[in-house]
Amino acid sequence: MFSAAGRGFVDQREKFSRVIAGRNIENYVLLKKGEFSYNKGNSDRYPQGCVYRLEEFEEGAVPNVWISFRLRSESDSPLFYKHFFLYGGLNHGLHRLINAGVRNDGLLNLTASNFFSVTVPTPEPAEQAQLGELFENLSIFIKNLRTQRTALDQQKRGLMQRLLTGKIRVNP
């Protein structure tokens, strides 16, 4: 299991063409489907790290430097919190707690107790469910638009290539 910025959890074989966890599996935490894990690695997209929800696999092993958790209540909406975390809902609170800069290994200097001290909103379950569905639908819509944009960009490149090579001509 590996976290790819913006993609969530991916199989190590997909990312690296092999399993890189090695023999030190004791340095990993078993995560069950539906649970969350905070990757303390910073990136341009996630300067305060990112929380991902394990959805694609029944279980996975994440490095023990990640902070893993599950929602407290069965009535909490996993979709709401998935999108809340992915779109930076914790950033303000985390930014205040992260020590100046990054350690040499690229991990943000944040303890589990500090992470769990960040205030997280708890709308009523019905509102969470509505917002979660809305955010999920918007994410799917945006993903489809990006796919269409990629296809149009490819089509444009192909047409430009045909114009530049003279395979097709435009009448004035």
- As given in the structure block, the two tokens for residue 51 are 């929380």
Strands lying side by side in the sheet with 36-39: 50-53, 36-39, 67-69
User: Are 41 and 108 spatial neighbours (Cβ–Cβ below 8 Å)?
Assistant: yes
Higher per-residue pLDDT: 137 or 1:
137
**pLDDT, averaged across the chain:** 85
- For residues 81-110, average pLDDT: 81
What is the residue type of 87? Y
pLDDT at position 122 over 70: yes
User: Are 33 and 58 spatial neighbours (Cβ–Cβ below 8 Å)?
Assistant: yes
CATH number of 2-164: 3.90.220
pLDDT at position 60 over 50: yes
- For residues 121-137, average pLDDT: 96
Going from the C-alpha of 49 to that of each of 45, 77, 85, 92, 98, the distances in angstroms are 9, 22, 10, 12, 10
pLDDT at position 82 over 90: yes
pLDDT at position 7 over 60: no
The Cα–Cα gap between 104 and 86 comes to: 25
